[in-house]
A = this chain, B = another copy of it.
Amino acid sequence: MNLSAPIHRPSLHEELVDRLREMIVEDHFQPGEKIPEKSLCDSFGVSRTPLREALKVLASEGLVVLTPNRGSRVATVTPEELANTFPVLAALERLVGELSAARISDSEIAHIRERHEAMVRYHKERDRSAYFMANQDIHSAILRSAANPVLEQHHTALASRVRRARFMANISDDRWAQAITEHGEILAALEDRDGARLGALLSNHLLNKFAALQRALEGVSDAAE
């Protein structure tokens, strides 16, 4: 690690932004749930000032909704918003693929291959949770290898808003198998360092995931009618 890098002592509100974002993305709150300032302040042991600053930042990221004089709630993700978000993320994924193929190192590829093989095993074993982790690792390793902080930042912001969606509908066996196939192709394109192909594959991978999700959600709402 770079010892001469400037030390960054995070201020309270930064700390709170990170903690709260983590809690929201990792589903410690229900979507739409009210966020009471008082009790949160108590549990974090801070005053309302930095907490409110953090909430405003999270609101600008779209993770929280502020209603004047009525406090803040965890943002809900509507199907319409999903439909708007996925194409944007897919557009970014294409760029991720193009940049990653041009910039990724051999050791990064080796690491991804290793996680890929683990993921295939988890699929065979039907270990959803381990699968999700490996999948996550692979995608964030590719994103990092694109070496573009601006891209990374916006990708992460968008992804965190739809992350919750993966809990909304359980993935079908068919889609799961298809995803594994797609991941195989992605790894191949990565090892070939074929940017155009990798970008297309990553983009389609995401759009297919969205299509599967939409089918699952429609099924749910149909059943509810």
B9 contacts A68, CB within 8 Å?
A: yes
Number of A residues with CB within 8 Å of any CB on chain B? 35
Residue among A17, A56, A81, A157 with max Cβ neighbours from chain B (10 Å): A56
Instruction: Kindly state whether residue A13 has any CB partner on chain B within 8 Å.
Output: yes
Contact of A111 with B by CB under 8 A: no
Closest beta carbon of chain B to A125's beta carbon, Å: 36
- Asked if residues B88 and A148 are in contact (CB atoms below 8 Å), the reply is yes
Closest B-chain residue to A149, C-beta based?
Answer: B84
Copies of this protein in the assembly total 2
Any chain B CB within 8 A of the CB of A5? no
Q: Which of A50-106 contact B (CB under 8 A)?
A: 52-53, 56-57, 59-62, 66, 68, 81, 84-85, 87-88, 91-92, 94-95, 99
A84 touches B148 (CB 8 A): yes
Interface centre among A52, A60, A85, A87 (most CB of B within 10 A): A60
Residue A10 lies at the interface, judged by CB distance under 8 Å to chain B: yes
Asked if A11 is at the interface (CB within 8 A of a chain B CB), the reply is yes
Decide yes or no whether A215 CB sits under 8 A from chain B. no
User: A149-165 CB contact bits vs B (8 Å, 1 = yes)?
Assistant: 11101100110000000
The residues of B that contact A172 with a CB separation of less than 8 Å are none
Are B53 and A11 in contact, CB atoms less than 8 angstroms apart? Answer: no
A154 to B53, CA, bound (A): 22
- A153-B81 Cα distance, complex, nearest whole Å: 12
- A170 contacts B by Cβ under 8 Å: no
Quote the shortest CB–CB distance from A91 to chain B (angstroms). 4
Q: A57-B59, A84-B149 are in contact. List 14 more A-B contacts (CB 8 A).
A: A9-B68, A10-B68, A11-B66, A11-B68, A13-B56, A57-B60, A62-B153, A81-B150, A84-B150, A84-B151, A91-B91, A91-B92, A154-B154, A154-B158
Chain B residue nearest in CB terms to A60: B57
Q: For residue A49, which residues in chain B have a CB less than 8 angstroms away from its CB? A: 49
Shortest A38–chain B CB gap in Å is 17
Chain B residues in 8 Å Cβ range of A10: 68
Q: List 13 A-B contacts (CB under 8 A).
A: A13-B56, A52-B53, A53-B56, A56-B56, A56-B57, A57-B57, A81-B150, A84-B151, A87-B151, A88-B92, A91-B92, A154-B154, A154-B158
